[in-house]
Structure 1
C-alpha cells in the first residue's frame, strides 16, 4: 500500500466496520422512513438510539486531531475512518462526526473563549445538542464570500444582527441550539477580507426565525437539513464575537479546509458503496439473454468507476498528508483539487449506478437518489467547482510569473 496505516488506525477501522455491520446498515431503511415521515423539524428516534451505542464503544469524535475529546488522529489517519462512515447517510451523526457540527466544534476549539467552550463546545462534543453555520445568503452570489450583506452592528455591549441566510444546515433540527453567524462589522473597510466577522448566536435569541426547510432534490432532512433563517434585530453580547472584529473570513478559511476534506472522504465511501451496489445489481439481472454485467458497456463503466475512485482516494490522502505536514493554508491547492475532483467523480459513478438499476434507480429504494443529491450538492457546498478551479489555476500560473 502506498500509504500504510498505523496499527491504531487499522484497529479503529475494524471497530467502525463492525459497528456499521451491526447497527448502521440494518437500520438504514428505518432511518430513511423516519426522515420522510417525520420531516426535517423532528429528531429521528433511530439516531438517538444508536448514538449511545457508538459512544459506549469508544467510536466518538474521531475527527478531532490532537484532542483530549477525540481519538487524537491526524487528517491522514482519520481519512479511512471517515470514508467508512460516508458509506451511509445514517452513520456520521452516530459517531458525532457529521457536518456542520464537526466544523463548528473545530471553530470553538480553535477560536472560542473558555466561556464559549464551556457553554457550547462541551455539549456539542457530548452529542447533547447540534449547531448550524449561517454564511450563504439568497440575495447575493455567495460563491464570493465577500459579497455577504448581513450586518453585525455594535451597540454598546451588544451586537445587533440583521440578515437572511439560507442553506443553513441543521437549523430546523430541534436540537440545534447555537449558530455560528457570519456578517459584516466593517462594510467600508478597503480590505474586503477584513469586513466580515463571526459571532455566536443562540437559536432561542429573540429575532431568530427559522423560516423553512429547503429540499435538496426533493429530500428534506436527508441528505441535509438545509434551512432558510431570518435574523431581525437579534441582540447578542459583544463577548459572543469569535477571535475579534474583521476576522470572519480568516475563521471561515480555517473552518472550511477540514470540512472540505471530510466531505471528500465521505464521498469516496459513498462511491465505493455505490459501485458495490452497481456490481451486485448488474450481476443479478438478465437482459437480452445475458447478465447485464456481461454487457461491454457495463464492464467499461465498472472499470472506469474503479479507476476514478482510486484516483480520488489517492488525491484525498495526499491532501490530508499535506494538511498535516505543511498546514491548511499551504495545502490550499491540494484541498481545492479534491473539492473539484471528488464530487464530480461521485456524481458520475452514482449516475452509472442509477443507469444500471433502470427506473428503480431514480427512486430511493436503492439509496441512489439520495446519494446523487449528496454528491451534486457538494459540487456547490463549501465553494463551487468554478471557484476552486480558478484558485488552482492562479496558483499554477504563479509558478511561472517570473
Structure 2
C-alpha cells in the first residue's frame, strides 16, 4: 500500500522546483525580461517562459531572436539528424531482442526434447545466447546515449549560440566525449525465420515481406466503445486507454514506493466524418493537487515533442479543476484535445518523445516511454473503419 499522506513541506519544495524549472520548445519570438525575484527570464509570445540559460555576462541578447533566423538552421538540422540516429539505433535494438527471443525459444525446445545434447548443439546455442545478451546490453546503452543526445540538441536548438555551446560541452564532458559527439546508425542484422526442419536459419538477403521491422505483425486492437455519438448522432469509436507517462520526483519517491505521484492515461476517439480527439486522464495522488498545480483551462496548450525534434500543439476543449477520487486516492483531471488534419499527419508519421502539460499554476515536461502511442491508437482506429 502506498502512503496516502505526505507532508505538505515536500509538495511545497516540489512546487518550487516546478516553478523554477521550465524550458519551452515553442517556435515563437522571445524577449528577455526580469521577474519579481529580479532574475532574468525569456518570455515567449504565448505567455510561457523559462529562466535564461548561461552566465550573467551573456544574458542580454543583442536583438530579439526568432526561430526562423538562419543562424538556427544548423542546430535544427543537427537535432533532426541525431533523432534519426536514435530511431535507427532503436530499430537495431528491437531486432537484436527478436533474435534473442528466437534463440531462447529454440534452446527451450531442445532442452525439453528427447535429443542428445551433443547432437543438438545446445552448448553452442547457450554460448551464443550469453554473447547476444551482452550485445543487447551494449546496444541498450548506445540507444540511451543517442536518445539523450538527440533530446539535448532539440532542446537547445533555439538557444543563443554561446549558451547552446556551453550546454553541449557540459554534456560531452559528463559522458566522456573529448571532442565532437559522433553517433552513427548501427547496421541492422537479419532477423531469424523458422525453417521447415524446426531449426532457425538466417536470410543473408531477406525479402522485404519477411522483415518483421518493415512488416510487423498486427497489434491487438480492442475498442472501449463502438456505437453512436450522443451529440452528433454519428458512428464513434474509442480506443482502450493506455498509460502515456507516469512520474514521481526524486524527493518524493520514498513516499510513493508502489505507484507514481502523477500518472496519465490516454486514448483516441474517432467520429465518422473525420473528427479525431485525444483524451487524457491525469491522476495526481494528493488531495492538494488543485492548490499545488491549479486547473486546466479551456484553450490551454498541450505540447507534444516528437523524436524527430518537431513539436505538435493541441488545445484543450474541456476545462477541469480536478475532482478527488476516494477510490483511486487521487485528484483526477479529464482533458480533451481535438486533432486537426496537419497534426494528425505528424503524429501518424513520428514517435513521441515528451509531453509538456500546462496547468494554470505549473507547467512540466514528462518523458514518454511508449513512444508509439499515437501509431498504435491510430492503427487501431483504422482497423475499425
> Scaled by the length of structure 2, what TM-score is found?
0.26
Structure number having the greater strand percentage: 2
Structure number having the greater helix percentage: 1
> Scaled by the length of structure 1, what TM-score is found?
0.25
Instruction: From the CA coordinates, give the structure whose radius of gyration is larger.
Output: 2
